[in-house]
Amino acid sequence: GAGVSQSPSNKVTEKGKDVELRCDPISGHTALYWYRQSLGQGLEFLIYFQGNSAPDKSGLPSDRFSAERTGGSVSTLTIQRTQQEDSAVYLCASSLAGRGTTGELFFGEGSRLTVL
Amino acid sequence: QQQVKQSPQSLIVQKGGISIINCAYENTAFDYFPWYQQFPGKGPALLIAIRPDVSEKKEGRFTISFNKSAKQFSLHIMDSQPGDSATYFCAASRQNYGGSQGNLIFGKGTKLSVKP
């Protein structure tokens, strides 16, 4: 497809389990972002990948959260030992980057995580 | 200094009325101010954006007003329609035209309901 694709769309897990969330960005987009959306909390920045540069991990809430981007394309967000407060919608976005670009982020529809 | 403060949290407007959402930022290095629109179950999508070299930008019924000295910007929706009912997020970032761009910091969102 032409848009950002995320999977799974819904994930229910038990407290303490690990989860992986996947993001397929738009082809050719060099920048990839993960955000977390909790009820009433807006969009919380988690991590940002730009080309081959070191990722900006400044938004990751704890060392249980990690993300990687393989081959400059697909990204996986991993949450280890999930806690109930991790329940949220995890949104991925991609964008073109560089001189002359608009900076527009294209979001996927998100992965809704529920930790029981 | 990285915060973007958005108000109101929710807004109810009659069809045909004007919807106004306000945002304030602290980091004077921010140079890109977009507004995103999000419908339930969907990811946010860019609505309109402004850079600080202009004080106003209009696209159809949507207008951004920007006050650099006050570090504030607002979204005005003229002739509001029920189809405009959605959550609106303001955001800010510092764009480096050398090739990378900083992460986009979002406000907490405003849920707009336009009554018929």
**Residue ranges per structural domain of chain A:** 5-97
Asked whether the beta carbons of residue A45 and residue B104 sit closer than 8 angstroms, the reply is yes
B48: which strand partners?
B35
The residue count for chain A: 116
CA dist., res. A51 & res. A94, Å (int): 11
When pLDDT is averaged across residues A23-38 and rounded to a whole number, the result is 92
Q: How far apart are CA B56 and CA B66, in angstroms?
A: 6
Total number of domains constituting chain B: 1
Determine the structural domain holding residue B50 and report its residue range.
4-115
pLDDT of residue A30: 87
Determine the Cα–Cα distance for residues A87 and A6; give it in Å rounded to an integer. 17
Both tokens of residue A17?
Answer: 């389990």
pLDDT tens-digit readout, A74-107: 999 999 999 999 999 999 999 887 655 667 889 9
pLDDT for the residue numbered B2: 66
Q: What is the pLDDT of residue A71?
A: 81
pLDDT of residue A2: 80
Q: Which parts of chain B have pLDDT scores under 50?
A: 97-100
Q: What pLDDT band is residue A3 in, cutting at 50, 70 and 90?
A: very high
pLDDT > 70? residue A113: yes
Cβ contacts of B95 on chain A, cutoff 8 Å:
103
For the domain made up of A5-97, give the CATH fold.
Immunoglobulin-like (2.60.40)
Paired tokens of A90 = 């995890």
Among A30, A41, A43, most B C-beta atoms within 10 A, so best to mutate, is: A43
Rounded to 5 degrees, what are φ and ψ at A86? -80, -10
pLDDT for the residue A41? 72
For the segment A15-24, the average pLDDT, to the nearest whole number, is 97
Can you tell me the distance from the alpha carbon of B37 to that of B106, in angstroms, rounded to the nearest whole number?
Answer: 12
CATH at residue B22: 2.60.40.10
